[in-house]
Amino acid sequence: MFSPNVKDFEKLGLFYLGRSFDPVNRKAGDELVMYDSRDLVTHAVCVGMTGSGKTGLCLSLLEEAAIDNVPAIAIDPKGDLSNLLLTFPKLLPEDFQPWIDDGEASKAGVTPEEFAAQQATMWKKGLAEWGEDGERIQKLKDSADFRIYTPGSQAGLSLSILKSFTVPPQAVLDDAESLSEQVTTTATSILGLLGVEGDPLQSREHILISNILSDSWAKGEDLDLAGMIPKIQTPPFNRVGVIELDSFFPAKDRFALAMKLNNLMSSPGFSGWLEGDALDIGALLNSPSGKPKISIISIAHLSDSERMFFVSLLLNQVLSWVRSQTGTSSLRALLYMDEIYGYFPPVATPPSKRPLLTLLKQARAYGLGIVLATQNPADLDYKGLSNTGTWFLGRLQAERDKMRVLEGLEGAAAAQSAAFDRAGMDKILSGLGKRTFLMHNVHEDHPQVFQVRWALSYLRGPLTRQQIKVLMDPFKKESPSKAKAAPKAPTVTISKPSSKTAPSEPPSVSTSTSSSNRPLLPPEVPQFFLPLRGKTPAAASLVYRPMVLGCGEIFYTDTKSGVSGKVETALLAPLSHEAVTLEWDEAKPIEIDPDDLEKEHAGPAQFESIPTPASKAKSYSAWTKAFVDNLFRTQTLEVFKSEQLSAYSQPSESEKAFRVRIQQLAKEARDAELDRLRAKYAPKLEAVDEKIVKADLALEKETAQARHSTLSSIVNLGTTVLGAFLNRKKITTTTLNKAGTAVRNVGTTMKESDDVALAEQRANDARQEALDLEAEFRQESRNLEKRFDAWNEQLVTFAIKPKKVNITAKLVALVWTPHWSDSDGELTAAWE
């Protein structure tokens, strides 16, 4: 009976997919099918009709990825992938009962409780037959965080698209072709959401939105749908090509397009798109602590246009993320899409096709593996899949489907310069049954037919939105979108103007609300306004208080750690009417980009008075020097250090980002060490195998000789004795000699029996040596896994002090800080 041991398939970098299958005799074999995770870097496609076992294979692939700490984003148009969260280590009936289909129980003629018990028993038995159990299910749950996202819906975790049109990475901006692709795809997806069919070359709507995106991104400005509306109505350019804007797209028509987008955003059903976590690929692949995530993006509840809009948006974000990564030959992450129908067709060009095609061509260099699945081979552009390295092919619906698959396989083989036996492949495909697949992997010498292993997850079929809600409600509290609001800024009291104000009292406030009463300063004194944020409190007035803002840039470098990089810092220091006007030691850090500072205040306001030194330009020169001195004394860069990998985080690199990076470094180092370990043991194993073969041959030879000698001796001795008995009156010297020879032959036979025992001992010793060698290899493999376990490593901190010559003051200026003043004169910061 086939029942592998966990040590046979729980191996580093290898995915346990199933066991071999003989398509001729239609019989499963005992050979485990282990798939090298690095082969997924060249992508995979899975094709099989309903009932072929395609879902079970693809979910098993994602399970193996999770166990190997490989994060994944899984796009789920049907709802099947949410089954990955139905994992029950104890395999108890009560675990299964909330998730069973009551209709199936009724059809089976049993109660829901009885049906749940049957499912639990079936799953426990099925797992056992494949060497799996609840312990492996627990390992799956512990290896990664599983989350279900439902864009446009509150059922699962929400995803907000408000910041989904951010400036692409510099690598994309520097590549004209890549930038053009992203602009075109984004514009097409926006218009698709509006129900507008926009041709990139002829549609004025498409050309207008493309130009708005290009202009904003060229200026480094992020966009969202809300920000797109005023730009459509009043674009930041006067011409499109050589034609005046109003001639190309009249203002009246632009207003209609802007209103269409505004009406869409204002509709109650669209509010779900504006709430939730940002569409951040890094956050979808790793938790805040850096733990791998399996993020299931469920889009079954969306309309066709909404699905296309979101998938296109997601693929563009993945493409931008890929281009920001370093190259690697190990599997960094997976992008899986179930039921690719309509998103990658052979003829049409929907918004999703262009970024997906680019990912298939470029993502392999960055360690992103793409897996696409479909029931209908006609759904796929096989020319686009010509570089796909692995094909999982199950039972197909019709002969024409098989022909399409063979055409795709032949193209992929040609692209990889690999041999392809069309006739043999045709024969194999014709004989595939349920849960049996043909794996054509260009990294292997020949295709392999295998039977898919039992899934660790409970495959109950598509989940409803209510069931998804039950699964995700416990995690919604963890979502950044549900984080508590920042604490209210501390209030300060501002005194009424008085001629008797003591020096220690807060500065007075001008009673004028006119902007003309702002204190006049020489043009040499740089002054700015912090932007006003938030809503105006009831019965509150706006007051501006003068402070000094210092913005600096510190370049940290350390030869020992190899850390090198810039850190931006900004300090906001209060001004005083006392002898010492400004003390940088009293300054507080502030998150502000100098480019966000404004030139004018935000409407009618009061202004506090300015200490006399703050109105002189030379003061700012002295304060600039003091600002640099303060940064030199107080600023220290603390980076994370991995003792295990001798790796350091870089400036501005979070612990999460660093852990993600060293996990990849550890994986690469582990793969390299594993290759060396295999190379080390390969000749030893071959030598032991050869020793076993020789010992078996010697044993067989000695056994045969001993058997022949024993029989011959017995016959000779018996003949001699019998002859002597029958001719007892004629016993001659010859007869006595024969008897002696027969007796000596018996002695020789006993010696040869000893030789057989010795040969048998040598054969047993050789086999024991092989077992010892295999155990030694497994132990070293386990040691490797512990050695390169970056996930559980305790990071240490490493402090780096800056050099004074590496500190630059980018700006030291007077800034007017907005405050809300209530009826009691208390001030509350209005810029936070």
pLDDT tens digits along 567-581: 999 999 999 999 899
- Kindly state whether residues 617 and 704 are assigned to the same domain: no
| Cα(226)–Cα(262) distance, integer angstroms | 8
The sign of the CA dihedral 624, 628, 630, 634 is positive
Each residue's pLDDT tens digit, 167-194: 888 878 888 888 888 888 888 878 887 8
Pair of tokens at residue 649:
């985080």
- Kindly state whether residues 663 and 714 are assigned to the same domain: yes
Confidence category of residue 1, pLDDT binned at 50, 70, 90: low
- Kindly state whether residues 435 and 311 are assigned to the same domain: yes
Sequence-distant (6+) residues with CB within 8 A of 356 are 315, 343, 344, 370, 384
| Cα(821)–Cα(698) distance, integer angstroms | 101
CA angle 166, 172, 174 (to 5 degrees): 120
Pair of tokens at residue 229:
């509306």
* Residue 731: strand, helix, or coil: coil
Does 736 reside within a domain? yes
* Residue 533: strand, helix, or coil: coil
The H or E element spanning position 567 is strand 563-574
Span of 28-37, 81-90, 601-610 with lowest mean pLDDT: 601-610
Does 132 reside within a domain? no
- Kindly state whether residues 779 and 808 are assigned to the same domain: no
Does 304 reside within a domain? yes
230-235 own/partner pairs: CB under 8 Å, 24+ apart: 230/258, 232/208, 232/257, 232/258, 232/261, 233/258, 235/208, 235/211
- In the predicted structure, residue 745 carries a pLDDT above the cut 80: no
Taking 3-state DSSP, the helix, strand and coil percentages for the chain, each rounded to the nearest 5, stand at 50, 20, 35
| Cα(766)–Cα(764) distance, integer angstroms | 5
Name the nearest CA neighbour of 600 among 540, 524, 536, 544. 544
DSSP states of 316-343: HHHHHHHHTSPP-SS--EEEEES--TTT
- In the predicted structure, residue 508 carries a pLDDT above the cut 50: no
Each residue's pLDDT tens digit, 804-821: 999 999 999 999 999 999
Name the nearest CA neighbour of 84 among 290, 289, 338, 317. 338
DSSP states of 449-485: EEEEPPPSS----PPPHHHHHHHHGGGGGGSGGGPPP
- Kindly state whether residues 467 and 517 are assigned to the same domain: no
Radius of gyration of the chain (CA): 38
Which of 109-123, 408-422, 485-499 ranks highest by mean pLDDT? 109-123
Burial, 717: exposed, middle or buried (Cβ in 10 Å; 0-12, 13-18, 19+)? middle
Question: Residue 603: left if φ>0, alpha if ψ -120 to 50, beta else—which one?
Answer: left
The chain-wide mean pLDDT, for the chain, equals: 84
Span of 254-263, 367-376, 717-726 with lowest mean pLDDT: 717-726
Span of 61-65, 152-156, 719-723, 788-792 with lowest mean pLDDT: 719-723
- In the predicted structure, residue 786 carries a pLDDT above the cut 80: no
* pLDDT value of residue 482: 43
* pLDDT value of residue 365: 92
Confidence category of residue 737, pLDDT binned at 50, 70, 90: low
Percent residues over pLDDT 70 in the chain: 87
Each residue's pLDDT tens digit, 604-619: 888 898 999 998 989 9
In the chain, the amino acid numbered 259 is: M
- In the predicted structure, residue 602 carries a pLDDT above the cut 90: no
Q: How many secondary structure helices (H) and strands (E) does the chain include?
A: 21, 26
Instruction: Yes or no: say if 299 and 311 are a contact pair by the CB < 8 Å rule.
Output: yes
Q: What's the rounded mean pLDDT across residues 710-725? A: 56
Total number of domains in the chain:
3
**How far out from the chain centre does Cα 424 lie?**
37
Does 172 reside within a domain? no
Instruction: Yes or no: say if 457 and 63 are a contact pair by the CB < 8 Å rule.
Output: yes
Name beta bridge partners: 297: 75, 149
In the chain, the amino acid numbered 326 is: T
- Kindly state whether residues 459 and 529 are assigned to the same domain: no
- Kindly state whether residues 691 and 770 are assigned to the same domain: yes
- Kindly state whether residues 497 and 591 are assigned to the same domain: yes
Sequence-distant (6+) residues with CB within 8 A of 130 are 2, 3, 4, 18, 453, 454
- Kindly state whether residues 714 and 807 are assigned to the same domain: no
| Cα(812)–Cα(817) distance, integer angstroms | 15
CB atoms within 10 A of CB 394: 23
Does 311 reside within a domain? yes
Pair of tokens at residue 468:
């998804």
- In the predicted structure, residue 161 carries a pLDDT above the cut 90: no
- Kindly state whether residues 350 and 404 are assigned to the same domain: yes
- In the predicted structure, residue 321 carries a pLDDT above the cut 80: yes
* Residue 256: strand, helix, or coil: helix
- Kindly state whether residues 532 and 610 are assigned to the same domain: yes
Q: Which of 448, 481, 514 is the last residue of a domain?
A: 481
CB atoms within 10 A of CB 668: 16
Q: Which domain holds residue 755?
A: 655-792
In the chain, the amino acid numbered 416 is: Q
Does 474 reside within a domain? yes
Pair of tokens at residue 586:
């009293």
CA quadruple 301, 302, 304, 307: dihedral, nearest 10? -120
CATH code: domain of residue 361: 3.40.50.300
